[in-house]
Amino acid sequence: MNKKIKPNIFNKTLAWAVHLFTASGLLAGFMSLLAMHDHDLRQAMFWLILAFVIDGVDGTFARMARVREVLPNMDGKTIDYVVDFANFAIIPAYIFYQSDLVIEAWRLPLTSIILLVSAIYYGKTGMVSEDKYFIGFPVLWNMVVYFLIFVFDLSPIFNGCIVVLFAVAHFVPLKYIYPSQAQRWQLASSIIAALFFILMCVTVYYYPERNFYLTTLSMIGLAYFAMLTLLEQWTTIKTKKK
């Protein structure tokens, strides 16, 4: 068991640095907006990937610095929610709207769906289970946009259907893994997630060229996390039957 620490200048400074690091995800998101305003898809996605990396490691830093004990009047989770909603809902929605993924008449309605269901998802209780899984598809529209633009090459109809599918998936109570905190498959999932970040960078770098091997690896990574979702659902069903 960790001993209770007595806050001092050093660990308070460290805790504030962690909060600022979390908040810096907003700066990455804003840079993504500026890039998309200039219709630079590659740069916009690079900034979103950086924001994703910050989100993936800031929790680990917060636990190492024990920010809850050192700064009890600061709620890092609230900061994280603000940053996440911007980077995983609002900015991907803007990228979707500015892209040619669907016909002009569908852009605003589908963008509105992305934003509305994301807000409702954040408002529901039990968004994260006790064993650290997201219940329902988490607000990861950055990943949806990444696959639609940089990996797949689908028709506007299919792109629109995928957006609607994931919008509905927010409210289907399947368990989606949180790689850095999951109690099962944590090491494998964290390694695959880290490798996937690298793969994303390489894929975006070569865009608009689509490489068969990069696409295949992206699909394998997607299949891995999809299979974990199905496996966790199967495990839950078996547990309830006992």
Taking only the tens place, the pLDDT of each residue in 185-212 is 778 888 888 899 999 999 999 999 989 9
Tell me, yes or no, whether 157 lies in a domain. yes
Tell me, yes or no, whether 3 lies in a domain. no
The residue among 54, 48, 60, 63 whose CA lies nearest residue 24 is 54
**Is a pLDDT exceeding 70 seen at residue 232?**
yes
Percentage of the chain beyond pLDDT 70 is 93
Of the pLDDT bands very low, low, confident and very high (cuts 50, 70, 90), residue 237 is low
Arithmetic mean of pLDDT over the chain: 89
The residue among 47, 132, 156 whose CA lies nearest residue 91 is 47
Tell me, yes or no, whether 67 lies in a domain. yes
Tell me, yes or no, whether 65 lies in a domain. yes
Residue numbers of the domain that contains 230: 9-241
Tell me, yes or no, whether 2 lies in a domain. no
* C-alpha distance from residue 160 to each of 19, 172, 175, 197 (Å): 37, 19, 24, 25
**70 in helix, strand or coil?**
helix
Instruction: Give residue 124's pLDDT.
Output: 84
> Which residues fall within 8 angstroms of residue 43, CB to CB, at 6 or more apart?
32, 35
Tell me, yes or no, whether 210 lies in a domain. yes
Tell me, yes or no, whether 1 lies in a domain. no
- Does the reported pTM lie above 0.85? yes
Structure tokens at 72: 């009890």
Tell me, yes or no, whether 4 lies in a domain. no
**Overall domain count for the chain:** 1
